[in-house]
Amino acid sequence: MTVGALRHRLGLAAALIATVVLIVLPNDADQAKNTVQTGPVGPAEAWPGVPLGEFPGNVPDGPAFAPAYFLDRTTAIGTAPSPDGASVRLLRRTGDGTLRELRRLPYSSSPQFGGFATDGAELAWAESMSGDDGVTRTEMWAMALPDGAPRRLTADTGDVVFFNSEFDMLIADGALYWAEVAATTEAATLIRSVPLAGGTVTTGSEDGAWAMSAFPWLVSAESGAAALPRLRDWKNHRELTVPATGTELVTCGSTWCRVLVVSADGPARTDLMRPDGADRRRMAGGAAMAAVTDVGVLDRFEVLTEAGPDTIPTSSQILYVYDITKQQTVRVADGVGMIQTRNGVLWWSTGADTDIVWHTLPLRAIS
């Protein structure tokens, strides 16, 4: 499998997220206990004093800006074409509109930037581009925060596999980690790392198909209804099989699992539980979607959407956040398009074409 083919699987995990409903239903089952809310509240009521950010969809020199990562609620890392359309730029955009160009790659090479990760002192990312031979190659880059010069860490990346997750790349123990698919007949995942200070890439192998989760956990990436989800601590050689029945579809992170309970008529409700099956409670129950790949953002929040009244769902979503700690659903915004969360910041777009506006919510500011 080539890097290019894997790159097109960025949305795989998101596509597998099951449909869920957003309005919490009354208790009526022996599971999904502890529901304390009958309907969503607004952000001002739920989070008084928590600041929401906003900035226009275009950068000052004209082109549209696509945020890919936030260092804080007003400082975004993202991409925008050059004004002449010849290049794709990786930019840092601050709240006052100031731009700093980090990287520039020719548009003709189909460049992509992804896998952003930070430990607070360093920012790392993957960038890929197609060569004259048509082969897509990936390199790992990093820079010291806030204003260090970007530097290439390695081009020895293997067949990188991303799942559009917060944890596709991780910084831990002074190194950058990512996963690749092993070129073997039996399913295997390679965990690769390179020191942030520079050096040789090291590789460890784990049997099976896995995706990165919070360090040092992996979550199983096997397909098929019969595959029970598993978690593996690859540093300490521990593994856990998540309990599930034949009528449940389970998606897990390292601390929470999202459980879609299916009836004969379709999705019946969505629960949350710990990976060992403990602390199970109802989150929702019939007609909307989980908005992001990761389960239990910051070990506390589920980001959810429901189609709005318009005929074009992608431009009329209603955005909700379910607070696991408070067992509370908050109706954050209506008329929402793209939704993402990284590094404790939730962001979303409203409007279309030249009228796009980006909005941010700093989840870590919620008490």
Angle at 296 between CA 289 and CA 74, to 5 degrees: 90
pLDDT of 3: 40
Alpha helices in the chain (DSSP H): 3-7, 12-16, 43-46
Task: Quote the tokens at residue 39.
Answer: 């309907």
Helix (H) or strand (E) holding 239: strand 238-241
pLDDT, tens digit, for every residue of 40-79? 899 999 999 999 999 999 999 999 999 999 999 999 999 9
Residues of the chain with pLDDT under 50: 1-36
Beta-carbon contacts of 123 under 8 Å, excluding residues fewer than 6 positions away, are: 69, 71, 77, 116, 117, 142, 143, 145
pLDDT, tens digit, for every residue of 184-243? 888 899 999 999 999 999 999 999 999 999 999 999 997 655 578 999 999 999 999 999
pLDDT of 247: 83
- Alpha-carbon Rg for the chain, nearest whole angstrom, is 21
Cβ-contact 235, 213 below 8 angstroms: no
CA dist., res. 76 & res. 96, Å (int): 11
Torsions phi, psi for 174 (to 5 deg): 75, 15
Q: Helix (H, G, I), strand (E, B), or coil: what is residue 13? A: helix
DSSP string spanning 174-242?
Answer: TEEEEEEE-SSSS-EEEEEEEETT----EEEEEES-EEE-STTEEEE---STT---EEEETTTTEEEEP
Domains of the chain plus CATH, in order, are 3-365 (2.130.10)
Q: Helix (H, G, I), strand (E, B), or coil: what is residue 281? A: strand
